[in-house]
Amino acid sequence: MHEVNTSRTVRRNRRAAFITDRRGATAVEFAMVAAPFLALVVALIQTFVVFFAQGVLEQVVQQAGRQIMTGQVQNAQMTQSAFQQVVCNQTKILFNCSGLMVDVQVAASWSSTNTTAPTLTYNAQGQVTNTWQFNPGTAGNIVIVRVMYLWPVVGGPLAFSLSNQPNGSRMIMSTAAFQNEPSS
């Protein structure tokens, strides 16, 4: 009988020691917090990169649009592919040039300018099938330059995703609308 009481006491003491032992608490708490913390870090980095790329695209479109506005593109009789190469040369660090979509249109008036994001159409291979215009206009014309790019995004943990396209990428776009300078 004495032996039974001793084994119960030993088990009770072990249980009490296990319950009050705090040596592994930090590891358990870290395991509970690590996944959401890492998800937040991944989401922040991805958001930063997308916004940085958007800023670079904005600056490039302003510079390329200025070449149209001042008549440099028209005087050089640039084609759509030559103008796209001008844009590409300024974005090679972040963008794959084959993915740049450049649309240059003339508007009849300021109220008829189309600066909205186009609806992209895709073929069975997931490639964009839209046809883009290239009309840099002449002196006094209102011109709209839109440059679009499908930025690859990674579906983040906890269902965070910056994707806004059916193929899982994010379309970033920059637009410049201006009136061409008069010829001198």
pLDDT in tens, 11-48: 777 777 666 766 777 778 888 888 888 888 888 888 89
Among 44, 74, 86, 78, CA closest to 139? 74
Q: Regarding predicted confidence, which is higher, 171 or 9? A: 171
What pLDDT sits at residue 157? 59
Model pTM score: 0.78
Q: Regarding predicted confidence, which is higher, 16 or 72? A: 72
- Distance (Å, rounded) from C-alpha 118 to C-alpha 31? 44
* Strand arrangement of the beta sheet that strand 169-179 belongs to: 101-107, 142-152, 169-179
Instruction: Report the mean per-residue pLDDT for the chain.
Output: 87
